[in-house]
Structure 1
């Protein structure tokens, strides 16, 4: 696979046309979305989807999200669509919300990872929409990183992971949201939030007019033998090469802990403006009171820790509500659930 030449093109008319041609030929293309960059292939072509797993080194028991450009594509991916799905689509599409429903017969088995459900969303990024239209089919598109490493929010990071693995990456600038989409399942008696994101549990409940259950796997490890019903539910994910530990507590307790455990190779993943008060090298991932900024900067901060050679990282703990829940969920997996309460 590594003798493949990877092109990095601007996401202009020519680049989008080239992407559409490659996708129609069963190839994989790196594309920007409003959340993170994705590795796209036709959701209806099992052989093309297998190339996504090969490029990422991703286990095939991890389901993929299909991306559509308008509602006319919805029934290519899912069936038995309830009114609640249209309520959510009307409120949040195009945007960073994924809905899980019973799968259609047309979506490739490889997309669904052996499940009888499928995941679908309509991205708001104009380049993602244009590429889907150019391909003419729903596109399966997990994050465009090597499996387990931090998701990419700029094209350069996609190239770093995917050079020689895919034929084309479209550069559409920096992703606006910075963490993957919210995933809600409408299969079952009560809606269930499987992966938190920019669209919050509270927003979902307001639109649906009912309580949305929080899946146990949002904050805890999957149980032995339990299948991942959504992307992002695996034990260790989004992780830099360093060993990350989340420290829960106020800043004073955090600083004291870091001082007691500081040695060469220790870095802090902290909130903005705290770095000058800490005894070791720091990478900031946003202000303590700005969860949207934290979401936007988290993955680039994790990659920066690798670039600076961090071996051990002590991370400041975000809140666990609203958008902050998405940030905490990603950090938990980056830390392989290592959390110290101070």
Structure 2
């Protein structure tokens, strides 16, 4: 069965006037899977209180059952499934929500479907800033569990086409909005103990958090093989079909590639590359925002080129600004 597509781009200022909004609401109430746009990546949303709906998420994505999901809300009043909130976490929520950050919080027993948290006693929660996502969450009135709307392990979807490519026929529908402007998944902050720990890097960095609550973040380890407490920590993620060779620090000398190689990097290095097919990721080495926004789209574009059998990716200087981007590139390159 083909997946429904609801193109709401002309209704971004008032989603309630979209002629088929009741169809979308009914889909969620009937515990169907519907992909929605957010500022980070498109999410595959389901009623977080219904076990059957959440089970469909894992099945549609081919997602490991111990990989928890992030619950999306439209206001802090919906946090009735959380036991308590640390005062510092509350300060951070007040400052950064709505926005690209998820908070891992203690969960009230039996308040959400068990598979949302992969059986853990904590839950990751986010309030997206995307206008369509915000309005849709208000209209539906349910907390929605929403991992990235792609097949597990694939580059995350940053536009409707990516979702349709991976999940057409596997899910009930797709709410088509604009492309995700951030392009990589949210920061995940583990607030189960203090000081907090960044379980997954994203657009909200440690120094940004420290700027609101001094001393609130401890050093993170993104390489743990323990059961993941947040999405993106353990399993193979973000990977295209062809293997990636990462050039640490970026391509700085002339490079010749064969006809079956894609070279990915800033436009500023194009003159160093001969042969192969060059895929620009951003303008220059300092354009981390541009590189983050386009990474998954470029990797998916390469998959459509059947002549390509390997990828050379020009890396970026490793610092706090590039941490989230390089985390995704590392995962895609290692195939972990």
Give the C-alpha shift of residue 311 in structure 1.
1.4
Q: For the Cα contact (< 8 Å) 1:85–1:186, is it kept in 2? A: yes
Q: How far apart are the structure 1 equivalents of 2:295 and 2:21?
A: 28
Q: How far apart are the structure 1 equivalents of 2:287 and 2:252?
A: 20
The 3 A distance-change label for structure 1 pair 250 and 326 is closer
The 3 A distance-change label for structure 1 pair 179 and 15 is farther
Instruction: State the match for 2:6 in structure 1.
Output: 9
Paired residue secondary structure (1:104): coil
Q: For the Cα contact (< 8 Å) 2:250–2:317, is it kept in 1? A: no
Q: How far apart are the structure 2 equivalents of 1:237 and 1:300?
A: 14
Instruction: State the match for 2:53 in structure 1.
Output: 48
C-alpha RMSD of matched pairs (Å) = 1.6
Question: Any stretches of 5+ residues in structure 2 without a counterpart?
Answer: 12-17
Paired residue secondary structure (2:199): strand
Listed as ranges, the matches of 1:77-96 within 5 Å are 78-96=82-100
Paired residue secondary structure (2:157): coil
Q: How far apart are the structure 2 equivalents of 1:322 and 1:17?
A: 43
Which stretch shows the higher mean deviation, 11-20 or 269-278? Answer: 11-20
Listed as ranges, the matches of 1:320-335 within 5 Å are 320-335=318-333
The 3 A distance-change label for structure 1 pair 250 and 150 is closer
Paired residue secondary structure (2:322): helix
Q: How far apart are the structure 2 equivalents of 1:46 and 1:282?
A: 45
Q: Are 1:278 and 2:283 counterparts?
A: no
Q: How far apart are the structure 2 equivalents of 1:103 and 1:289?
A: 40
- Alignment TM-score, normalising by the size of structure 2: 0.92
Instruction: State the match for 2:39 in structure 1.
Output: 34
Give the C-alpha shift of residue 113 in structure 1.
0.6
Instruction: State the match for 1:306 in structure 2.
Output: 303
Question: Any stretches of 5+ residues in structure 1 without a counterpart?
Answer: none
Give the C-alpha shift of residue 14 in structure 1.
3.0
The 3 A distance-change label for structure 1 pair 15 and 98 is farther
The structure 1 residue matched to 2:313, chosen from 309, 312, 315, is: 315
Which stretch shows the higher mean deviation, 22-31 or 275-284? Answer: 275-284
Q: How far apart are the structure 1 equivalents of 2:107 and 2:30?
A: 24
Listed as ranges, the matches of 1:221-232 within 5 Å are 222-223=224-225, 226-232=226-232
Instruction: State the match for 2:103 in structure 1.
Output: 99
Instruction: State the match for 1:148 in structure 2.
Output: 153
Q: How far apart are the structure 2 equivalents of 1:81 and 1:312?
A: 46
Q: For the Cα contact (< 8 Å) 1:183–1:197, is it kept in 2? A: yes
Q: Deviations over 1:73-127 (max 9, x none)?
A: 0122x22111112111111100101000111220111100121110001001111
Paired residue secondary structure (1:151): coil
Q: For the Cα contact (< 8 Å) 1:15–1:170, is it kept in 2? A: no
The 3 A distance-change label for structure 1 pair 153 and 130 is same
Q: For the Cα contact (< 8 Å) 1:269–1:285, is it kept in 2? A: yes
Q: For the Cα contact (< 8 Å) 1:42–1:48, is it kept in 2? A: yes
Q: Deviations over 1:251-298 (max 9, x none)?
A: 324x44xx3xx3342111111232233022111211311111111111
Q: For the Cα contact (< 8 Å) 1:199–1:323, is it kept in 2? A: no
Paired residue secondary structure (2:150): coil
Give the C-alpha shift of residue 30 in structure 1.
0.7
Give the C-alpha shift of residue 15 in structure 1.
4.3
The structure 1 residue matched to 2:263, chosen from 259, 268, 278, is: 268
Give the C-alpha shift of residue 317 in structure 1.
1.0
Q: For the Cα contact (< 8 Å) 1:67–1:123, is it kept in 2? A: yes
Paired residue secondary structure (2:19): helix
Q: How far apart are the structure 1 equivalents of 2:335 and 2:34?
A: 32
